Amino acid sequence: MSENMLEIDGLTHSYGDHTVLEKMSLRVPRGELVSIVGPSGCGKSTLLRCIAGLVRPTGGRVVLDGTAIDGVPDELAVVFQDYSRSLLPWLTVRDNVALPLRRRGGSRAERRAAAEEALTSVGLDGAGRKYPWQLSGGMQQRVSIARALAYRPSLLLMDEPFGSVDAQTREDLEDLVLRVHRDEGMTILLVTHDIDESVYVGDRVVVLGRDPGGVRAELPVHLPAPRDQTTTRAHPDFVSLRTEVSTLVRGAAAPTKTVVHE
Amino acid sequence: MSTATVERPPAAEPARRGRRRLLGALSGIAQVWLLVLLVIAWELVTRAVDDEFFPPPSAILPALRDMWFSGPAGDLFLTEKARADFGPSFRNLFLGWGLAGVIGVAGGVLIGRSRALGHLVEPVLHFLRSVPPPTLIPFLLALLDLGTQMQVATIVFGVVWPVLLNTIDGVRSVDRLQLETARVFGITGWLRMRRVILPSAAPKIFAGLRVSLGFALILMVISELVGAGQGIGAHILLAQQAFEIPQMWGGIVLLGVLGCLFNLVFALVERRALAWHDNARRND
């Protein structure tokens, strides 16, 4: 078995006549945190949904841990952008986190303990008995992250996870992802449309283009660890890298066909 | 990690909440006063008209009390007649409504979750639903004889539709992201039904059950008017035949009060069970 956690080969997906992804290929080594960035309509979300097994691609294949994906893989968790719809409002925060653990067996007490532990690790100790709608948006997204962590996935997918929280909360959550990645060592794919974010959190930035969607560039990120919101963002390497990614994304957004976008 | 303290949960301002509560109390008082005024008007008009068929409330209420609520304190003031009348009525009502609820939810889940089955049976459902339930009484009478079976069957057939159709709609309109979340986290089968699909459909199921409860009361009375010999509906019919007009009106008033009471209790239960629904929507 190769050291790649994820191998994507010739992935193609169309909705009717519209081809979103065309012959896209990507390798993700185990334990890497990959940022996927691109203009809107480049198929970022479709890519993630193909990996998650929620969408069956029209062509190509996705191999996870040596096995071609057919249906939702067991060892995978997703943090969706829309936490308010992804968390179940009729369950408490703790039950939301504990529910997916049912298939792993174990007693009710064990599941609850695991849920509390995950909540503590995202800074939400004591919030378990509340309902998601009693929490702020940032805290709800922390619950989503705790739910994914408690599930102990080997691959974590994040679909624009911080797209609907304010700037301060966003920075806190980015640091949370970095810490989780460092502590748990899981492989993470984070889709974002925020160029700074892609550079700040990623070990590698993958730039997607559109019409047709595919990988335009892959840039390794070598920034001094640990990363810090103030010093890292002021680092010359960060600045030049974000400029490079920005140029690539703009270039990728320039349509090769005549397409009208809002 | 201490950054969580920066984010504060949204809290309604106390001033606004206080004003809302005051407005609620005022409108409650206004409602009670309107009711009192209407009863007074009823009393004055019926006295002025002085018609045997329209006794004033001051004649109806004593009749009501003497018939049903003048029993010993140990029996909650219920008389012998009260138990003979209410017993069969309530049993039919709740048996019929309960059965309709179980059948409606179970059938709705099956039909709602299976596209093929839904496609197949929907035209039939809409036809059956359109048949006015009382028209079935002659048929059910021929099939089941007078009595509990016929009455319960009438109620079940009449009130199963709102529950069934609302359940179908509810289990079909589960949020796509909630279903995808369940798929990603391996929540399947009965667990998914119990923890994701049914709670998500619960607001619609409750709405169906509430409509059904109102219909069930109506059908209970109708089935008793057809000559059941017992129950509140039968009492109204017998009182009318015996020309005991205040007693007949007593039955009518009692049914109105019962209808309100059932609705109130149901609303309380619903509000408790669906607290997450109201709150989640308010904070959106």
* Pair (B204, B143) in one structural domain: yes
Same domain, B32 and B69: no
Backbone angles phi, psi at A240, to 5 degrees: -70, -35
Total domains in chain A come to 1
User: Is residue B73, in this structure, part of any structural domain at all?
Assistant: yes
What is the side-by-side order of every strand in the sheet holding A155-159?
A76-79, A155-159, A187-192, A33-37, A204-209, A214-220
The DSSP letter of residue A3 is S
* B136, burial (CB in 10 Å: exposed 0-12, middle 13-18, buried 19+): middle
Residues of A in contact with B178 (CB under 8 A): 85-86, 88
State the CATH number of the domain containing residue B222.
Answer: 1.10.3720.10
Name which of A74, A93, A99 to mutate to probe chain B: the one with the most chain B Cβ atoms within 10 A of its Cβ.
A99
Segment A180-210, tens digit of pLDDT: 899 888 999 999 989 999 999 999 999 998 8
Average pLDDT, chain A: 88
Which residue in chain B has the smallest CA separation from A134? B9
CATH number at residue A149: 3.40.50.300
Q: Residue B94 phi/psi, 5° resolution?
A: -80, -30
Whether B183 and B248 share a structural domain: yes
A180 within a domain of the structure (yes/no) = yes
Residue A26 has a pLDDT of 92
**In chain A, which residues have their Cβ closer than 8 Å to the Cβ of B184?**
52, 54, 72, 76-78
Give A138-181 pLDDT, tens digit per residue: 899 999 999 999 998 999 999 998 888 888 888 988 999 999 89
- Tell me if B284 and A84 make a contact (CB, 8 A cut-off): yes
What is the domain range of residue A22?
4-192
B11 lies within 8 A of chain A by CB = no
- Min distance B229 CA to chain A CA atoms (Å): 46
Greatest alpha-carbon span in chain A:
58
Whole-angstrom distance, CA of residue A88 vs CA of residue B194: 12
Q: Does residue B145 share a domain with residue B27?
A: no
Q: Chain A closest CA to B160's CA: distance in Å?
A: 26
Count: domains in chain B? 2
User: Are B32 and B161 found together in one domain?
Assistant: no
Signed CA dihedral, A102, A107, A109, A114: sign only: negative
| Cβ contact A136–B3 (<8 Å) | no
B36/B152 same-domain check: no
In degrees rounded to 5, what are phi and psi of residue B77?
Answer: 65, 10
- B175 to chain A nearest CA, in Å? 8
In a domain, residue A224? The reply is no
Same domain for B192 and B71: yes
Is B198 an 8 Å CB contact of chain A?
no
Q: Tokens standing for B146?
A: 């007078």
Do B103 and B30 belong together in one domain? no
What's the pLDDT at A159? 92
Across the interface, do A131 and B276 touch by the CB < 8 Å criterion? yes
Q: Within a domain: residue B2?
A: no
Q: Does residue B277 form part of some domain?
A: yes
Q: For A44-66, what is each residue's pLDDT tens digit?
A: 888 999 999 999 999 888 999 88
Answer yes or no: is A131 within a domain: yes
| pLDDT at position A72 over 50 | yes
Q: Where are the alpha helices (DSSP H) in chain B?
A: 14-49, 57-68, 80-113, 115-130, 137-144, 148-172, 176-184, 189-192, 198-225, 232-241, 245-273, 275-282
Question: Mind listing the pLDDT tens digit of every residue in chain B (284 residues)?
Answer: 334 444 444 455 567 778 888 888 888 888 889 989 999 999 999 999 888 889 999 999 999 899 899 888 888 888 888 888 899 899 999 999 999 999 999 999 999 998 889 889 988 988 888 888 778 777 877 777 777 888 898 899 889 999 999 999 999 999 999 999 999 999 999 999 999 999 999 999 999 999 999 999 999 998 888 866 788 999 999 999 999 999 999 999 999 999 999 999 999 999 999 988 887 777 65
Phi first, then psi: give them for residue A60, nearest 5 degrees: 80, -175
Which helix (H) or strand (E) is A38 found in, with range? none
Q: Examine the predicted complex and report whether its ipTM is higher than 0.90.
A: no
List the domain range (segments joined by +) for residue B37: 13-50
What pLDDT sits at residue B37? Answer: 94
pLDDT value for A255: 55
- Residues B154, B124, single domain; the answer is yes
Residue A146 counted as domain residue: yes
Beta-carbon-side half-sphere exposure of residue B139 (alpha carbons within 13 Å): 9
Distance separating alpha carbons of residues A161 and A87, to the nearest angstrom:
13
User: Do B276 and A133 lie within an 8 Å CB cutoff?
Assistant: yes
Number of other residues whose CB lies within 10 A of the CB of residue A16:
5
Cβ–Cβ under 8 Å, residues A195 and A252: no
A45 belongs to a structural domain: yes
Distance of CA A152 to the CA centre of its chain: 15
Same-domain check for residues B165 and B238: yes
Tell me, yes or no, whether B33 lies in a domain.
yes
**Is B25 in the same domain as B144?**
no
Tell me, yes or no, whether B209 and B149 share the same domain: yes
Answer yes or no: is B124 within a domain: yes
